[in-house]
Amino acid sequence: MAIHPVVDIAPSILAADFAALGQAVRSVEPAGVRLIHVDVMDGHFVPNISIGVPVVASLRKATRLDLDVHLMIENPELYVGAFAQAGANWITVHQEATAHLNRVLALIREQGCRAGVAINPATPVSTLDEVLAEVDLVLVMSVNPGFGGQSFWRGAERKIAELRERRARGGLQFRIEVDGGITADTIAPVVRSGADILVAGTSVFHKQDPLAAVRELQRLAGEALLQRA
C-alpha cells in the first residue's frame, strides 16, 4: 500500500508572469492544489537569479496555500530564518549546497517549517542515507537546476524508485517530490516510480488556461497512481 495515496501537483511560479503572481496563484486554486512551488536562485549555486524573501512575503499575503520554497542557493543556513518568517511552509535545501546538511535540516524544523532536501541529477540517492529519517520531503531534480522549460531526465525514475524502496524499508514518511520537465507526456512513469508531489511550471503557467492544465495533470497523475504496484 502506498504511504501517500494522493499525488499533488505543485504549480511553480517560476513560469508565471512575475507582474501578476498573486493572480497566477489564484487562477489554479480552484483545482484544489495544496502547494505552490517557489524557486529561489542566487546566480551562484545555479546559473540564474530568480526571487527572494520579499516575493515570498508577498505571496504569503496573496494565498493560504502552502508555500513550498526550494532554495537553490549557496549557504542556505544563512537564509532559512528569513524565508520561514516570510511565510514559507516547506523549505528545501540542496545536499550539494551545504557541508552541514543535518544541521540545516534541524534549523528548518526549529523555524516551524517542514524540512526538505534536494539532489541534482548527478548526485546519488545514497548521499542522503544519513538524513532520510530527518526529512519531510526529498526533491529529485529531473533537470539540471537553473532554468524552466527543460526536458525531463529519464534517470530520475530510477532515483525515485530507490527512494521509495528506502522509505518502505525504513518505515519512513517523507514525501518524494520531482521537479523538472513534468508534462502530460512524462507524468505517468514518474508517478508509477513513486513520486508524491510533481512540480509543474511551464506545463501550467505557459498554457492558455492554467486551471485546465492543472486539472489535466491531476487526472493523469490519478490514473498513474492506480497503476503503481
Active site residues: 39, 179
Q: Residues near 126 by Cβ (< 8 Å), separated by ≥ 6? A: none
Provide CB contacts within 8 A for 139, sequence distance 6+. 70, 92, 116, 117, 118, 119, 177, 178, 179
Q: What is the DSSP string of 18-71?
A: GGGHHHHHHHHGGGT--EEEEEEEBSSSSS-B---HHHHHHHHHH--SEEEEEE
Cell of 46: 545555479
- The grid coordinates of residue 126 equal 545514497
DSSP SS3 for 134? helix
The residue with cell 489564484 is: 26
Q: What's the N-to-C CA distance of the chain in angstroms? A: 8
- Helix orientation angle between 53-62 and 21-28, rounded to the nearest 10 degrees: 50
